[in-house]
Structure 1
Amino acid sequence: MSFEKIRDIIVEQLNVEPSMVTMDTNLMKDLEADSLDAVEIIMAIEEEFDIEIPDEEAENFQVVSDLVGFVDDNIE
């Protein structure tokens, strides 16, 4: 499942404990990510899964499950 890879990216980018990242974790509220952190996470996910995430979509991502759902819907 893509959750583990996405969790690892978030853990690395934000320097948080893996246990802090669940499907319901809000990147901004729970992990205190700022807009630059969010961009770096999106770029790392795009690279990891070889997909492109449109800016309009990325703006709607709030919780980890939003990211996982998009990736799962867009990888082959």
Structure 2
Amino acid sequence: MLHPVQPRAPFCARRVHCGHFSFRRNLIMATFDDVKDVIVDKLGVDADKVTPEARFVEDLGADSLETVELIMGLEDKFGVTIPDEAAETIRTVQAAVDYIENNQ
């Protein structure tokens, strides 16, 4: 008896730990952890409060000077330049991770 052929999802969609997806996810998690370290150091906040959706000013209590120091710390840590226009749009931890991932 023949069985109908079942359509298959792309390899990475079927398996959580496929090669490229797993590598990319690990890279982003490493970037998040490094960004988190800079935030904890520069803002003096509890590491548990640093989540991807945490906002620097509203949730983590950063003032304008601390925000500038945070951006400079990220530039030093990751070897990137964050122009003022871009820095003004980086308001959350995830936005910082995304900027670094896209500009490193």
TM-score for the superposition, normalised by structure 2 = 0.70
Q: Which has the higher contact order (CA 8 A, sep 6+)?
A: 1
Aligned CA RMSD, in angstroms, stands at 0.6
Does 2:80 match 1:59?
A: no
- Deviation string 1:23-64 (CA, Å, 9 cap, x unpaired) is 000100001101100100100110111110000000011111
Deviation at 1:14, TM superposition (A): 1.0
- Give the 5 Å matches for 1:4-43: 4-43=33-72
List 4+ stretches of structure 1 deviating above 2 A.
none
Structure 2 SS opposite 1:38 = helix
Unaligned runs of at least 5 residues, structure 1: none
Calculate percent identity across the aligned residue pairs: 39
The aligned residue for residue 78 of structure 2 is 49
Q: How many correspondences in the alignment?
A: 75
Structure having the higher Rg: 2
Unaligned runs of at least 5 residues, structure 2: 1-29
